[in-house]
Structure 1
């Protein structure tokens, strides 16, 4: 949770349906809608949105966000979330829009004592993961059985789509026992020929933190807080998207040890400088 530029409370939370189906904001078959209220602030109203949902009726994880309609000094209190469950019959495959039957809302309580804290900067990664930048969509979506080594060392022309893929080293063979998910994607370029590197012991944090050695730094994707993303460089849009938000990328999303994103390369051709992507 955080306070936005207008002083309003912004809360992001996840749900997991413990039934076959998913939660919905509203449904034409129900007269009620999902909502947020707070007895400690009876005059405070909220705008609830469904940010993303796993493409499944089998206990899907869903990301939600609600924003207060105006600002108050103290947001502390017990917040009641009323979400509309929508059940799907057995054997029905997931589709958009979802085909399901709404039920009476379920209530959940969320205690909030607001404090503004900074996210810690990771000093060490314990998994041997690989970041690949690809130019071919078919390779981006593949299971990797044919390898990536030759295709990952590629150059991009203006207008190309850059496909990013993060995956656990296949040598570890973790299979379905481990999930690899992208939470944020940063894009940066160094000043005066400097190449950003991630080496915390030497005070270098790649694209994760602002530094005098960086000429440009953008957070182009943020899974938990998409409203904080940089959408463009100058007047040219990045058009960045996580694989989980791309209906055509289900083949990649369903691979347990991999995740991905994509972006347009056009914005990167506005200035000639060296840059790297961090995930």
Structure 2
């Protein structure tokens, strides 16, 4: 309209507001001239014919700006092109797309002239996520600029398919206005935003599960000795507390996917019972493990002499299932092995009611002739998981004793040393008794209260102190 009026000599004949409407009616008149030039014979030569007419145009418009010249609202439209559909490392949807405006201006994420509206992307109806929209890049021009956008879902979903809607705030520049670096303040935001459709067909493929290999063994404990006679695959863990008169029955089960029981045998070699340190569960019952407070070697198939068969004169009565004559039926299940022990000695150790079990086992061929593949005919031992079990906390044992601390052990060693020094003098006239009846548990790993470091106690060795050089009697400490 500026060019028609200012450059071409057009005239606005009338401009009135339509009654009951926000539109204006405008009539514009423009003079059109036509000159035809032709050649004639002498004496006329060249001749011209001129024509003039008036072109009158009427139209309606909604006023956009009021000023010294009329400005018309433009048709707000654009083209959207989807460039990439993907999922980020967290599984959230990524939509990369570009827009090209078909008006004199561009799209903005927000504008201070319309603070209540923002550009955004709406997910399909029923999709339980929101989308965040970011403007990546804009072409520096008002004339149909190309702009790059990225929309990201707030949550990770399995299926993102559906019809998304881009709601973009158009910002229109005045006709003839040149683009400047301060372009954001030169355009006027339009309400409502322009809505463009984004059809998406994308299912988020789940990451494949990491391939892991295992022996497919299970560690089950119960308080019923008859459980050793039943089918191993039907065993269930006992979750309740163990009372002083009860027996812990442990099972190591091998349940491979393929039935290999007829060719291989599972054997339990060692069994440990241990406690945690300062309410911390140990990662293993083996010495040096983090969180380990106290550990007892209940059974050792290869070297039974080093196992701890009792504590405070209470026997664990620990046995392998293969050592029990009444459990011979277990031999029919080569993929299982077990053990038993009584919990009564644990009640005499004042270290709490939470205990843990761990077993070392091996799986090897049932026939000895198949060991020829190994250099030393030995089998690697595998450690079971650490299985927790509870003692009944309401039972108070009157003779329960504190576990021997490292300082106490040093003091006891000093007493033994003093007693030995008395052998050469006459001071030792009477039979010496041990200064304390506290017996250190065998193969123990204890926590020092001062340093916080684990101390290893050696196995207790009987020492005989003689009262008289001429006497054959002595006191064992």
| TM-score normalised by the chain length of structure 1 | 0.48
Q: RCO (CA 8 Å, sep 6+): is it higher in 1 or 2?
A: 1
Q: Which structure has the greater CA radius of gyration?
A: 2
| TM-score normalised by the chain length of structure 2 | 0.29
